[in-house]
Amino acid sequence: MLFWYSNNVELIPDDKLFEEHFLEKSVIFIFLDGFGLGEECETNPLALYGIPALESRLHTKLIAGTNNTSGNCHFAGIDAILGIEGIPQSATGQTSLLTGKNAQAFLGYHLPAFPDSRLVSIIQKYSILKTLTYAGLRATFANAYTETYFKKTDVSYSVTTHCVKAAGIPFRMISELLNNNAVYWDITRTSLKGKTDPAPEPIDPFEAGTHLARIARENDFVLFECFESDLIGHACDMDAAKQFLLKLDRFLEGVFSSREENTSVMICSDHGNIENCSKGSHTENPVPLISIGPASASLKHVLAIDQVTPAIINYLCS
């Protein structure tokens, strides 16, 4: 059986090869919605408060124009516009990021919110979760879902949900969350209050980070999505931004403290937003591509969000 990806990399599965080779490295990919790199100013919470867990490892601030590639670290601002006029949006940006296809160019414009049928067709073919799963690797989405999510008739599925469906892999539910085998999108489970029975108790962000790292011990690729940064950017709430960055910092420390040496932690976004709390809408700023771990060198050539998925696939399948 022959598996292929659009960059002409051929993946020939052999049970012994996959068992002995591919378990030697893994990637935790943290997708932060609406997380760009802005100027150093009083309306940029990243410039004001920062994320010490990252800045101490990257030896630079998370602002526009900064970058660093050294040892097992990589940080650069990459393009989220992809040659299409207008403000980048979630549906096209996330599709480009998680499939390696320029969804903006495919549609000819930036599509907000949830993917339409045309973008879903791209996700069904090229989802990173599907490509890696079909290549024989263990890929998973760490986010927990509630039972009611799939019972609603008027719900529009996110790009990440379509990625899981395309791969044919199980969704993690609240039962997995209660067993610490999943992470909720808000990290601390606070927003679940009153939505499930039993309702999980809130946890410390550091603990949630250790849970994500633990999932990576059983998988070659783990995707986690947090969209709180985008919500805060739309609300222009500097106080909420400060609290979120404190939470994110502690969460990442939990991930870094518990990850194994062969596990790389990558962070990227679909478009900017939270870095400009005076605007209330998405920005045209570059988004950060961050890697801590042995995969970092494989990202040096990545200049735009549609190049991230092919780079991860090449790294894990080489």
Write out pLDDT tens, residues 176-233. Answer: 999 999 999 999 999 998 888 777 899 999 999 999 999 999 999 999 999 999 999 9
Residue type at position 120: V
- What count of other Cβ atoms lies within 10 Å of the Cβ of residue 169? 18
The one-character DSSP state at 71 is T
Within-domain flag for 21: no
The CATH code of the domain that includes 230 is 3.40.720.10
Extended beta strands in the chain, E state: 3-4, 10-11, 26-32, 68-70, 73-78, 139-141, 144-145, 172-173, 221-226, 263-268, 287-292
Q: Which domain holds residue 137?
A: 26-316
Within-domain flag for 10: no
Give the residue from 119, 59, 121, 71 showing the smallest Cα distance to 95. Answer: 119
Amino acid 8: pLDDT: 39
| Entry pTM | 0.92
> Count of domains in the chain?
1
Within-domain flag for 17: no
Residues 149-181: tens digit of each pLDDT: 888 766 789 999 999 999 999 999 999 999 999
Within-domain flag for 311: yes
Amino acid 71: pLDDT: 82
| Bridge partners, 183 (sequence order) | 143
Environment class of 180 (CB within 10 Å of its CB; exposed 0-12, middle 13-18, buried 19+): middle
**Widest pairwise Cα distance in the chain:** 56
Confidence category of residue 103, pLDDT binned at 50, 70, 90: very high
